[in-house]
Amino acid sequence: MNKIVANAEEAIQGIQDDMTLMLGGFGLCGIPENAITALVETGVTGLTCISNNAGVDDFGLGLLLQKRQIKKMVSSYVGENAEFERQMLSGELEVDLIPQGSLAERCRAGGAGIPAFFTPAGYGTEIAEGKEVRMFNGKPHILEMALTADFAIVKAWKGDRMGNLVFKGTARNFNPVMAMAGKITIAEVEELVEPGELDPNTIHTPGIFVQRIFQGEKYEKRIEQRTVRQKEA
Amino acid sequence: MNKIVANAEEAIQGIQDDMTLMLGGFGLCGIPENAITALVETGVTGLTCISNNAGVDDFGLGLLLQKRQIKKMVSSYVGENAEFERQMLSGELEVDLIPQGSLAERCRAGGAGIPAFFTPAGYGTEIAEGKEVRMFNGKPHILEMALTADFAIVKAWKGDRMGNLVFKGTARNFNPVMAMAGKITIAEVEELVEPGELDPNTIHTPGIFVQRIFQGEKYEKRIEQRTVRQKEA
Amino acid sequence: MLDRNSIAKRIAQELQDGWYVNLGIGIPTLIANYIPEGISVEFQSENGILGMGPFPFDGEEDADLINAGKQTITAMSGASIFDSATSFAMIRGQHIQLTVLGAMEVAQNGDIANWKIPGKLVKGMGGAMDLVASADNIIVAMMHTNRKGKSKLLKRCSLPLTGVGCVKKIVTNMAVLDIVEGGFKLIERAPGVSIEEIIAATEGHLIVEGDIPEMTF
Amino acid sequence: MLDRNSIAKRIAQELQDGWYVNLGIGIPTLIANYIPEGISVEFQSENGILGMGPFPFDGEEDADLINAGKQTITAMSGASIFDSATSFAMIRGQHIQLTVLGAMEVAQNGDIANWKIPGKLVKGMGGAMDLVASADNIIVAMMHTNRKGKSKLLKRCSLPLTGVGCVKKIVTNMAVLDIVEGGFKLIERAPGVSIEEIIAATEGHLIVEGDIPEMTF
């Protein structure tokens, strides 16, 4: 079994206008940088992007927004991006805001063949409008639907040709659940390793969830909020 | 934060007659041997045990069955146990059979605050009797409820005093999902290690799901179906 | 008539390169011995391993490495281990390309019964209900008739169901059959088995169209 | 009147040994600086870490280690990392003993609004709706009044809600208040702040019973 493709360009073959994509990452942490760059170059447009955030003006999904390749964002928080604001206010960009935990669980559900589940998040708010409400244990819950995508694009630390993935630190975030929910899942990794190098016990995403894998050319791994403390004298 | 208790006897303090327990393991693989032995010694009775299997006559949950400490088993497969058969046929023991995937997901749901979810498993069978049926994507699904327990008892390979757990091989099975679903979760481990010895990236069960932890005195780790091949000459 | 190994061997011909496969207990387990050359597949065992390898050599058994039949196994290079919820996420989420399992009865509409005989001791369905309800591609491996000589391919199942309308293909000791609108469509005959014999052993509606070739191995 | 740091310091007094705590952005983040001696708590950040430590020293930042505010952080010994679904399993499953977050408005029935102002750009609710709907124990940390001097403790929220009936306690620059049947129950006053001042700054129903002590630090 060999799921390795040469590069980002080859990995994103088949992504077409008006498709739905999931993209891993939280802020700029753990985003598939190389695949995003390749998507910008294809000029594919009309995309619905399911991603917790929308990048910043000149990095991450912001690059696709700049080129107006995104029709709709499905996210929990989109606040760091002037171009995003402009497109949203002008009505060019549709935005579907989803509570972060419901977003994560809806992706996992999509990957796990659970079409719908009940959650308390959002009950009594505008998020619940039009959704079924039901009491469990004396507490109201709303019914949320699974999310899937034509392509899921995730970024891992290491991976092998079977598609097994290992993530590093909080760059894990949405990547594993989105990997489960893509009809085709593309994984870009910092390092491709030989099968057997990853301990079967410590694999975060089993290869069954990944259809294509490649080693990214380079990783900028930009930090959004560099926050430090000073060493005391 | 120190969740270490001295031994199995101390760990199971508070388990009382007629409580509901979850017990990790698949067959005899990854079962909390030491806690089960301690439970036998307490003589606690009327237990509802949620466990994928019911042990064998003289090991695992079979030991509790022998002493008639179990009122009800909630399992997916219970076939390896003569005493179990006798009690079930005589009506002494109640048995609730649940499809294995629904059992696992119901435990996870219980731990994750998802009170109910839809699954296709069991539709059109007696498992679906009395359950809500709904179509999603043209396919019928049934509504399944979350499971929780007064105590969950799991067995891990290594653990630390924060309650972080690492499992080995297929001894993982139901242990992580049951750890999530116990009001109080007891973990027994083969080896207690110092905090920091477990790589934060490779922890299977974060300590937040575990309230008590101890190192088991000894592990028999009995093999149910020893199956081998011969080396070719 | 085929023996158990030949049934497994015939089903192995259905495997495609790159597939993830879940094999049930019994005849399905034997399929792993007959993977066609040039084809690479990964076996999932629902207790939590992908990349299940052959049984261990004597003396190399690991109590922490078993399959869903509770047998000691090995892990292939590139294997991965996961918990039961993730395992059934793979199954329910249709990430497995082929599921092969045994059955007591199959009906011509694809219903399957393989977990319970009223009046007999019930051991449980294990993962079977999740597997049959979820899989896109299910092959049943079984004998064409039961020990009393009664057909196991029926108009309607008489036993409590494991799943409804889910079986796509059946490989028995007598034939390969697809489940299509209207009944069991005969695809291949076991070497030396006549169409008449298959008709006689099939209680459900058997569709016989054109020439029915013998299986080749 | 308390400053932001003193609000954080007062809330820190509510911490109990062994608690898992989720701190929102803003004032709540400051609480980590005031953990009482002898008390050990673990901070969860909903992007996927338990055992979040202080900010890194200059030059030791790791792009792969951030908190939910996207700030660089460190991990304590004994920390664990997990995916977003598991993170919210902890939150939704009520494994977190205390959630502290900011608010634009709180109503006397425990409703909270902190994510959206009609006519202004909406950035999203992030994890706030999951946190408030799930937590058993929520403390709101905020100023008693907004920049225009209008009370943020209201009979009913005027802004779109984040959650209903979920806030249990509020610590402002003027007071500590519990939400009880019927309204905001005044528990403590900030040093030098009179009951009259608190009454004047509270639009919702304020319950004042017996002596109201000043906060002590």
* CA dihedral angle for residue B50, residue C28, residue C106, residue C179, rounded to 10 degrees: 130
The three-state secondary structure class of A177 is: helix
Taking CB atoms and an 8 Å cutoff, what residues of chain D touch B207?
42, 50, 78, 80
User: In this complex, is the C-beta atom of D164 within 8 Å of any C-beta atom belonging to chain B?
Assistant: no
Express each pLDDT in D76-133 by its tens digit.
999 999 999 999 999 999 999 999 999 999 999 999 999 999 988 889 999 999 999 9
The distance of A229 to chain D (nearest Cα, Å) reads 5
Look at residue C119 and tell me whether its pLDDT is greater than 90. no
Q: Please list the alpha-helical segments (H only) found in chain A.
A: 8-11, 33-42, 62-66, 82-89, 100-112, 175-181
User: Are C153 and C170 a contacting pair, CB within 8 Å?
Assistant: yes
- What is the DSSP pairing of strand B182-193 with strand B149-160? parallel
The distance of D118 to chain A (nearest Cα, Å) reads 12
According to the 3-state scheme, what is the secondary structure of chain C?
CCCHHHHHHHHHCCCCCCCEEEECCCHHHHHHHHCCCCCCCEEEECCCEEEECCCCECCCCCCCCECCCCEECCEEEEEEECCHHHHHHHHHCCCCCEEEECCCEEECCCCEECCCCCCCCCCCCCCHHHHHHHCCCEEEECCCECCCCCECEECCCCCCCCECCCCCEEECCCEEEEEECCEEEEEEECCCCCHHHHHHHCCCCEECCCCCCECCC
Is D196 an annotated catalytic residue?
no
Interface B:D, Cβ pairs < 8 A: 64
- B-facing residues of C in 25-84 (CB < 8 A) are 45-49, 54-73, 75, 81-84
Place A82 in a pLDDT band, splitting at 50, 70 and 90. Answer: confident
- What is the DSSP pairing of strand B149-160 with strand B20-23? parallel
Cα separation, B8 vs A226, in Å, equals 46
Express each pLDDT in B70-100 by its tens digit.
999 999 999 778 888 889 889 999 999 999 9
Q: Do C89 and A112 touch (CB under 8 A)?
A: yes
At residue D47, the pLDDT reads: 97
Q: Which among B94, B100, B119, B221 is the top mutation candidate for probing chain C, defined by the most C β-carbons within 10 Å of its own β-carbon?
A: B100
Interface A:D, Cβ pairs < 8 A: 182
Complex prediction ipTM: 0.97
pTM above 0.90, yes or no: yes
Taking CB atoms and an 8 Å cutoff, what residues of chain A touch D60?
228
At residue D82, the pLDDT reads: 98
Q: Do C72 and B223 touch (CB under 8 A)?
A: yes
Taking CB atoms and an 8 Å cutoff, what residues of chain B touch C48?
26, 170, 172-173
- What is the DSSP pairing of strand A47-50 with strand A165-166? unpaired
The number of distinct structural domains making up chain A is 1
- C-facing residues of B in 76-135 (CB < 8 A) are 76-80, 85, 88-89, 95, 97, 99-105, 107-108, 119-127
The distance of B163 to chain D (nearest Cα, Å) reads 9
Q: Domain of B175?
A: 8-115+147-215
Nearest to B123 among C45, C62, C164 (CB): C164
The CATH number of whichever domain residue A180 belongs to comes to 3.40.1080.10
Q: How far is CA A22 from the centre of its chain?
A: 5
If you average pLDDT over residues A59-78, what whole number do you get?
96
The three-state secondary structure class of A43 is: coil
Q: Do B228 and C65 touch (CB under 8 A)?
A: no
User: In this complex, is the C-beta atom of B118 within 8 Å of any C-beta atom belonging to chain A?
Assistant: yes
Closest by CA position to D42, among listed B218, B195, B103 = B195
Cα separation of the two ends of chain A:
56
Domains of chain D: 4-207 (3.40.1080.10)
DSSP notation for B51-102 = -SS--BTTBTTHHHHHTT-EEEEEES---S-HHHHHHHHTTSSEEEE--HHH
Whether chain A lies against chain D with 3 or more Cβ pairs closer than 8 A is yes
According to the 3-state scheme, what is the secondary structure of chain D?
CCCHHHHHHHHHCCCCCCCEEEECCCHHHHHHHHCCCCCCCEEEECCCEEEECCCCECCCCCCCCECCCCEECCEEEEEEECCHHHHHHHHHCCCCCEEEECCCEEECCCCEECCCCCCCCCCCCCCHHHHHHHCCCEEEECCCECCCCCECEECCCCCCCCECCCCCEEECCCEEEEEECCEEEEEEECCCCCHHHHHHHCCCCEECCCCCCECCC
Residue A229 lies in a domain: no
Residue B195 lies in a domain: yes
User: In this complex, is the C-beta atom of A207 within 8 Å of any C-beta atom belonging to chain C?
Assistant: yes
At residue D119, the pLDDT reads: 85
What φ, ψ does residue D98 adopt, rounded to 5°? -150, 135
At residue C6, the pLDDT reads: 97
How confident is the prediction for chain D on average, in pLDDT?
A: 96
Q: How far is CA A169 from the centre of its chain?
A: 16
Residue B78 lies in a domain: yes
Nearest to A228 among D47, D58, D64 (CB): D58
At residue A233, the pLDDT reads: 59
D23 Cβ partners below 8 Å, 6+ apart? D29, D31, D32, D43, D100, D101
Q: Do A104 and D88 touch (CB under 8 A)?
A: yes
User: In this complex, is the C-beta atom of A201 within 8 Å of any C-beta atom belonging to chain D?
Assistant: no
Q: Do A201 and B202 touch (CB under 8 A)?
A: yes
Q: Please list the alpha-helical segments (H only) found in A23-77.
A: 33-42, 62-66
Share of chain C above pLDDT 70, in %: 100
Q: Do D72 and A225 touch (CB under 8 A)?
A: yes
Q: Do B105 and A116 touch (CB under 8 A)?
A: no
User: In this complex, is the C-beta atom of B90 within 8 Å of any C-beta atom belonging to chain A?
Assistant: no
Express each pLDDT in C132-186 by its tens digit.
999 989 999 999 999 999 999 999 999 999 999 999 999 999 999 999 999 999 9
Nearest to C90 among A161, A162, A208 (CB): A208
The distance of A88 to chain C (nearest Cα, Å) reads 34
- What is the DSSP pairing of strand B116-119 with strand B139-145? antiparallel
Residue B210 lies in a domain: yes
At residue D185, the pLDDT reads: 98
The tokens 């390092």 sit on which residue? A191
User: In this complex, is the C-beta atom of A59 within 8 Å of any C-beta atom belonging to chain D?
Assistant: no
How confident is the prediction for chain C on average, in pLDDT?
A: 96
User: In this complex, is the C-beta atom of D129 within 8 Å of any C-beta atom belonging to chain A?
Assistant: yes
User: Are D91 and D72 a contacting pair, CB within 8 Å?
Assistant: no
Burial zone of A122 (CB within 10 Å; 0-12 exposed, 13-18 middle, 19+ buried): buried
Place C28 in a pLDDT band, splitting at 50, 70 and 90. Answer: very high
D118 Cβ partners below 8 Å, 6+ apart? D159, D160
Taking CB atoms and an 8 Å cutoff, what residues of chain B touch C62?
169
Whether chain D lies against chain C with 3 or more Cβ pairs closer than 8 A is no
If you average pLDDT over residues C46-66, what whole number do you get?
96
Nearest to A168 among B116, B117, B201 (CB): B201
The distance of A130 to chain D (nearest Cα, Å) reads 16
Cα separation, A179 vs A174, in Å, equals 9
Place D27 in a pLDDT band, splitting at 50, 70 and 90. Answer: very high
Q: Which among C80, C91, C95 is the top mutation candidate for probing chain A, defined by the most A β-carbons within 10 Å of its own β-carbon?
A: C80
Taking CB atoms and an 8 Å cutoff, what residues of chain B touch C121?
85, 88-89
- D-facing residues of B in 22-41 (CB < 8 A) are none
The angle formed by the CA atoms of residues A112, A118 and A123, to the nearest 5 degrees, is 140
Q: Do A1 and C90 touch (CB under 8 A)?
A: no
Cα separation, B99 vs B113, in Å, equals 21
Taking CB atoms and an 8 Å cutoff, what residues of chain C touch A146?
none
Taking CB atoms and an 8 Å cutoff, what residues of chain B touch D91?
113
Interface A:B, Cβ pairs < 8 A: 52
Express each pLDDT in B182-192 by its tens digit.
999 999 999 99
If you average pLDDT over residues C62-81, what whole number do you get?
97
At residue C120, the pLDDT reads: 85
Share of chain D above pLDDT 90, in %: 95
At residue C121, the pLDDT reads: 84
If you average pLDDT over residues D4-23, what whole number do you get?
97
- Across chain B, which has 233 residues, the per-10-residue mean pLDDT values are 96 98 98 98 98 95 96 92 87 96 98 98 97 97 98 98 98 98 98 97 98 98 94 70
Catalytic one of D42, D46, D105, D203: D46
User: In this complex, is the C-beta atom of B207 within 8 Å of any C-beta atom belonging to chain D?
Assistant: yes
* Residue of chain B with shortest Cα separation from D86: B112
The one-character DSSP state at A232 is P
Nearest to A136 among B105, B116, B172 (CB): B116
Residue B136 lies in a domain: no
Nearest to D61 among A28, A107, A223 (CB): A223
At residue B233, the pLDDT reads: 59
User: In this complex, is the C-beta atom of A136 within 8 Å of any C-beta atom belonging to chain B?
Assistant: yes
Catalytic one of C42, C46, C105, C203: C46
- Interface partners of chain D (CB pairs < 8 Å, 3 or more) are A, B
Q: Do B117 and A119 touch (CB under 8 A)?
A: no
* Residue of chain A with shortest Cα separation from B202: A202
Cα separation, D202 vs D185, in Å, equals 11
Q: Do D81 and A172 touch (CB under 8 A)?
A: yes
Look at residue A71 and tell me whether its pLDDT is greater than 90. yes
